[in-house]
Amino acid sequence: MEGKKVIVIHGYTASPDNHWFNWLKDELEALGATVDIPTMPESDSPDPQKWEQCLLDANIQFDENTILVGHSLGCITALRFLENHAPEGAKIGGYVLVSGFDRTLDTMPDLAAHTQFSLDYSKLIGMSDKRASIVSSNDWAVDSATSIELAKSLQTSITVVENAGHFLDREGFTRLPALLSLLKFWY
């Protein structure tokens, strides 16, 4: 992971201090990576333009050392950011989607503004050979079928974690070994 820059994008109602984010940061930094977990604005009532601007303000490089990790709403945010701002033909180090979705969810209709436009799957596939989805078998917030559908659209690998809920700290997810193992396997 030496020289890699990992950007972790949290989701709805979350912050950089929630769930498994700081654990991942500590683990990856111990392996030589640089990790940034931007505080996405107003996460209780997220605006897609403000979230995209937050990532623009983070000066993320579109190069083969950059890896994006999204959780829940952070997934569509990362994908939309790549789609809208990466130069044509840009290659990044990879992206991982944890409980990803790209359509309106019955469980979180407030997030519909984030998914009102279709993604350019072919552009997103072309940005990296390292694309992965991590899905819970019993996700109550983002149905696993929805995450798998997105994974298939993006031709990502799929890792299913049994009974992981929505990968939240209150569900016991202060660590996410499947994600760390995946990143170590890549690099």
Angle subtended at Cα 105 by Cα 102 and Cα 106, rounded to the nearest 5 degrees: 165
Cα separations in angstroms, 154 against 27, 106, 139, 159, 184: 27, 22, 20, 14, 21
Burial 118-129 (b: 16+ CB within 10 A, else e): ebebebbeebbe
Q: pLDDT for 45-87, tens place per residue? A: 999 999 999 999 999 999 999 999 999 999 999 999 999 999 9
User: What per-residue confidence (pLDDT) applies to 94?
Assistant: 98
**Residue 121, amino acid:** Y
Closest Cα partner for 40 from 25, 52, 51?
A: 51
Query: What residues are annotated to the active site?
Result: 72, 139, 166
Burial class of 74 by CB neighbour count within 10 A (0 to 12, 13 to 18, 19+): buried
Q: How confident is the model at residue 176 (pLDDT cuts 50, 70, 90)?
A: very high
Looking at residue 113, its pLDDT comes to 96
pLDDT of 42: 96
Give the pLDDT confidence of 97-132 residue by residue, as tens digits. 999 999 999 999 999 999 999 999 999 999 999 999
